[in-house]
Amino acid sequence: MPRVKRGTKRRAKRKKILERASGYFLTKSKLYRAAKESVERGLKFAYSGRKQKKRQYRSIWIVRINAAAKLNGISYSQFINGLKKAGVELDRKVLAELAANDAAAFSTLAAQAKSALAKSA
């Protein structure tokens, strides 16, 4: 097997890791081995954080919808159930936006949900 000299490739790889580690504390930003461990750990958290972000936004939307639904005299679960029975296909993101910025539109949706629940019961 031929001999491999890794001069530029090795330097580029290490430089990339150390650039990603800039701003880390003490040796984690200076020494390659410590920097590599920290960068890999950070990338792992970044990956899982991108998944958690979606969950957190959904829970925020649900809290906002619930608060607005309570103001209209209906619980969150009844509101969502009523909208499904009424055939309204708005997702939670849009409903939360309406709850926060357009109370009149949300109250009409709440009325639709209540009437759909009353019809089915």
What would the pLDDT profile of 15-73 be if each residue is shown by its tens digit? 999 999 999 999 999 999 999 999 999 999 999 999 999 999 999 999 999 999 999 99
Q: What confidence tier does 119 reach under pLDDT thresholds 50, 70, 90?
A: very high
**How many CB atoms lie under 10 A from the CB of residue 28?**
18
Q: pLDDT at position 5, please?
A: 87
- Distance from chain centroid for Cα 20: 24
Q: Is the pLDDT of residue 102 over 80?
A: yes
Q: pLDDT at position 27, please?
A: 96
| Domains defined along the chain, listed by start | 8-120 (1.10.1900.20)
Answering whether pTM is above 0.85, one says no
Instruction: Tell me the Cα Rg of the chain.
Output: 26
